[in-house]
Amino acid sequence: MTLNQEEARRYLEEFPVIVLEMDLSRRKFVIGLTALLGKVIAPSMLLAANNLKPFHVVLPPKPKQSFYKEGRRKGGNILIIGGIHGNEPGAYKAVDILSRLDVIQGRLILIPRSNFTSILANVRGYNGDMNRKFASLNKTDPDFPWVCWLKEHICLNDVNVVLSLHDGAGFHIRNKRAWGECIVIDEANYKEWSLYQTAAWVIGQVNKDVESPWHRFSIYNTHTFSPFTTHREQRKSLTYYTLTRAKKPAFCLEVSKQLPSLYLKVKYHLLMLSYFFKLYRVKTDPPLEYVISNLERYLYHHPQFRLVFRINNHPLEIRESKTIKIPPKSEVKLEKIYSENGVFVSPVGINLNWQQFRVYNCLQLNVKQDFQTMAKIKFLAG
Ligand SMILES: [Zn+2]
């Protein structure tokens, strides 16, 4: 079977990074690609390849952001983790808001975006479910450094409790198999901790402020330790790791994906957190009650950004959507992103795990704040 010119162009466009990975000359690459596809090369393909204008792109590493906030007055120490599932913005936006507050009593360790690649892609797990990677994980898994980083925080000596925030599907009060609007515990009691009692008290308080009966919170006990559990997969989760390996209490706080607005998802997360703060004697400035009643102000804003590129060693700053023409074989390096937390670039059609790659003719970089695209930067080689 022979590739015609159009097919050759299409395959080259679909597999642009093979060149980078193999680091071959064009002729060897064409042969390599042919072997990969199990097809015989046509001379016209070399012609097609001549029309392609490659350039090389280098992006900065994705930031792993954690925040340590300690008050002058003594209190408990809570580790709060958001965004382990990338399509759950209520969870990571709530932790992001906390990272902008001061702590006046106790201590907060905050990780708003524990799975930033999935957040940028707005999918549950760009590399599979990260919340099933805590029992064991191959070092070649792209999530490996992120899971190790989370484990380091979970195992910090002075952390008293770990809270993992999620936006789950459905409403647990209506459907006992749904994960939304509940606090998930792995067992009613584990070691000296009464996980059920704590969750029940928090839920009892929160439900006083929940207007719709369908939105009320309840407890989801997965009985993860029981030989009869229907949730064996939970033994690979962050909370199970925290209980058994770090030997600390852990809870999953779940609002519902089906709540009508991001506002309500974040509000319910902050409400649950406000009662955990009372239990563990943590106070913020301003207090969480104030933040909840002025949530619009904390939630919605449109950050500015400044991207500092170096293109063939010439500096270039970009602050808005733009199309940039570059010579073929250029080196496009994004050196720095100046903006707020959660702002990063997402190359369209490229594996989001890659920090550098070669493309042909054009590339679109979406400037995103989490799941929202703020601007589009296009590079055209020619
Ligand atoms: Zn989740």
**pLDDT score recorded for residue 39:** 41
Question: Rounded to two decimals, what is the model's pTM?
Answer: 0.87
Question: Are 76 and 219 within one domain?
Answer: yes
Question: Are 185 and 91 within one domain?
Answer: yes
The band of 3, judged by pLDDT with boundaries at 50, 70 and 90, is: very low
Beta carbons within 8 Å of 12's beta carbon, 6+ residues apart: 33, 48, 49, 52, 360
Tell me how far the alpha carbon of residue 216 lies from the centroid of ligand 1, in angstroms. 18
Tell me how far the alpha carbon of residue 41 lies from the centroid of ligand 1, in angstroms. 47
Tell me how far the alpha carbon of residue 245 lies from the centroid of ligand 1, in angstroms. 21
Tell me how far the alpha carbon of residue 4 lies from the centroid of ligand 1, in angstroms. 46
Tell me how far the alpha carbon of residue 332 lies from the centroid of ligand 1, in angstroms. 36
Structural domain includes residue 58: no
Tell me how far the alpha carbon of residue 252 lies from the centroid of ligand 1, in angstroms. 9
Q: What is the pLDDT of residues 247-266, one digit of tens each?
A: 999 999 999 999 999 999 99
Question: Are 187 and 272 within one domain?
Answer: yes
The band of 123, judged by pLDDT with boundaries at 50, 70 and 90, is: very high
State which residues form the domain around 290: 67-299
Structural domain includes residue 57: no
Question: Are 144 and 213 within one domain?
Answer: yes
Higher pLDDT, 98 or 50: 98
Domain final residue, candidates 264, 299, 334: 299
Tell me how far the alpha carbon of residue 26 lies from the centroid of ligand 1, in angstroms. 44
Question: Are 160 and 226 within one domain?
Answer: yes
The band of 296, judged by pLDDT with boundaries at 50, 70 and 90, is: very high
pLDDT of residue 40 exceeding 50, the answer is no
Beta carbons within 8 Å of 130's beta carbon, 6+ residues apart: 84, 85, 114, 115, 118, 143, 146, 147
**pLDDT score recorded for residue 2:** 38
Tell me how far the alpha carbon of residue 307 lies from the centroid of ligand 1, in angstroms. 31
The band of 83, judged by pLDDT with boundaries at 50, 70 and 90, is: very high
Tell me how far the alpha carbon of residue 66 lies from the centroid of ligand 1, in angstroms. 19
Tell me how far the alpha carbon of residue 253 lies from the centroid of ligand 1, in angstroms. 9
Tell me how far the alpha carbon of residue 319 lies from the centroid of ligand 1, in angstroms. 33
Token code pair at residue 39: 């097809």
Integer angstrom CA distances of residue 77 from 84, 289, 291, 316: 21, 20, 20, 44
User: Percent of the chain scored above 90 by pLDDT?
Assistant: 85
The band of 51, judged by pLDDT with boundaries at 50, 70 and 90, is: confident
Question: Are 103 and 247 within one domain?
Answer: yes
Structural domain includes residue 47: yes
Mark the residues whose beta carbon lies below 5 A from ion ligand 1.
85, 88, 166
Tell me how far the alpha carbon of residue 84 lies from the centroid of ligand 1, in angstroms. 7
**pLDDT score recorded for residue 222:** 97
Tell me how far the alpha carbon of residue 250 lies from the centroid of ligand 1, in angstroms. 15
The band of 78, judged by pLDDT with boundaries at 50, 70 and 90, is: very high
Q: CATH code at 90?
A: 3.40.630.10
pLDDT of residue 274 exceeding 80, the answer is yes
Question: Are 90 and 224 within one domain?
Answer: yes
pLDDT of residue 337 exceeding 80, the answer is yes
Q: What is the pLDDT of residues 157-196, one digit of tens each?
A: 999 999 999 999 999 999 999 999 999 999 999 999 999 9
Question: At 206, phi and psi to the nearest 5?
Answer: -60, -45
**pLDDT score recorded for residue 301:** 78
Integer angstrom CA distances of residue 176 from 139, 181, 228, 337, 371: 36, 11, 17, 44, 30
Nearest to 339 by CA among 322, 319, 314, 311: 319
Tell me how far the alpha carbon of residue 78 lies from the centroid of ligand 1, in angstroms. 19
Question: Are 142 and 38 within one domain?
Answer: no
